[in-house]
Structure 1
Amino acid sequence: MDVEIFEFEPGRWSYKLGSAPSVETFPSREAALIAAEQVRDKQAQAPKPENGE
């Protein structure tokens, strides 16, 4: 899944995973990247539905 880090407003950073933006902002680009990687990893470990959704 693609991660995009962007400046939400001056001095506040956020991220998108795929096309889904985060509702959180962070004080640095690095903090936003760490949070995005943690969410991406958690989503990758989540059980997949049997019907493929």
Structure 2
Amino acid sequence: MTARADAGLIVDGDIASATVKALQQRLNSMTGAGLVTDGDWGQATTRALQTALNQGRF
């Protein structure tokens, strides 16, 4: 069974490029991380997510 999330993503448990892109956009808006929203999970995405978690933003 799948559902749709507010970001237009299909909620199916898979982390694909559309999911990563949505996360990157959210991190940019929350923290000003300056991530390139390309859907590729790299070191900058990991650092930005860890920073947001450490700051209690998620």
Q: Shorter-chain TM-score: what band?
A: 0.3 to 0.5
Which structure has the larger Rg?
Answer: 1
Which protein has greater RCO, CA pairs closer than 8 Å, 6+ apart? 1
Bigger proportion of residues as strand: 1
TM-score (norm: length of structure 1): 0.33
Question: Taking structure 2 as the reference length, what is the TM-score of the superposition?
Answer: 0.31
User: Which structure is higher in helix share?
Assistant: 2
